[in-house]
Structure 1
């Protein structure tokens, strides 16, 4: 995990995003325990209350679960929930804007599809 202490984004949101990303990428598997609030706060010199605030966001979003006396664990469907959220965000952030711009340029759906296909082959 890496945190930007100079960012305008609050640290608790960075904590939530970092753990969410680790779950999404498989660093923390379903049913696996994630590092404790104490571990994260000690390792990265972040206030434990700040770390807990970030973790509570993930609890509220149904990605991790508190097990009293044991710690925090990744829920079984967490990775799929994150994938769904990111697909929806991708649609809103990129596809909707692309379609609006395409219409402004007078491009039809077939032209956009061919441009997207071209983009995939340019990798």
Structure 2
């Protein structure tokens, strides 16, 4: 994990996003314990309340589960929930904008698909 203390993004969101990324990539596997609030706060010199706030966002989204006296664990199905959420964001943030811009340029579906294939092959 790396945190940018100069970023306009609040640290608690950076904590949340980085743990979510670790779930997404499988670095934090479902059913496994993640580092404690104390471990993260000491390692990265972040206020424990800030770390807790970021982790609680993931608890509220059912990606993490706190087990009293044991720690915080990645919930089963968390990785798929992250994938589904990111696909929805991808659709709304990129695909809809692509379609809107394509219509302005009078591109057909075939034109769009050809451009996507070209970009995919060259990327």
TM-score band (shorter)?
A: over 0.9
Alpha-carbon separation, structure 1, partners of 2:26 and 2:58: 16
Mapping 1:2-81, distance limit 5 Å: 2-81=2-81
Deviations 1:57-99 (A, max 9, x none): 0000010000000000000100000000100001111100000
Deviation at 1:120, TM superposition (A): 1.5
Distance 1:27 1:121 in 2: 28
5+ unaligned residues in a row in structure 2: which ranges? none
Deviation at 1:107, TM superposition (A): 0.4
Q: Distance in 2 between matches of 1:118 and 1:27?
A: 32
Q: In 1, Cα distance between the equivalents of 2:23 and 2:119?
A: 28
1:117 equivalent to 2:101? Answer no
Corresponding residue for 2:105? Answer: 105
Give the TM-score normalised by the residue count of structure 2.
0.98
Query: 1:99 is paired with a residue of what secondary structure?
Result: helix
1:121 Cα deviation from its structure 2 partner: 1.2
Question: Per-residue deviation at 1:112?
Answer: 0.3
CA-atom RMSD in angstroms: 0.6
**Shift of residue 103 of structure 1?**
0.2
Distance 1:100 1:24 in 2: 29
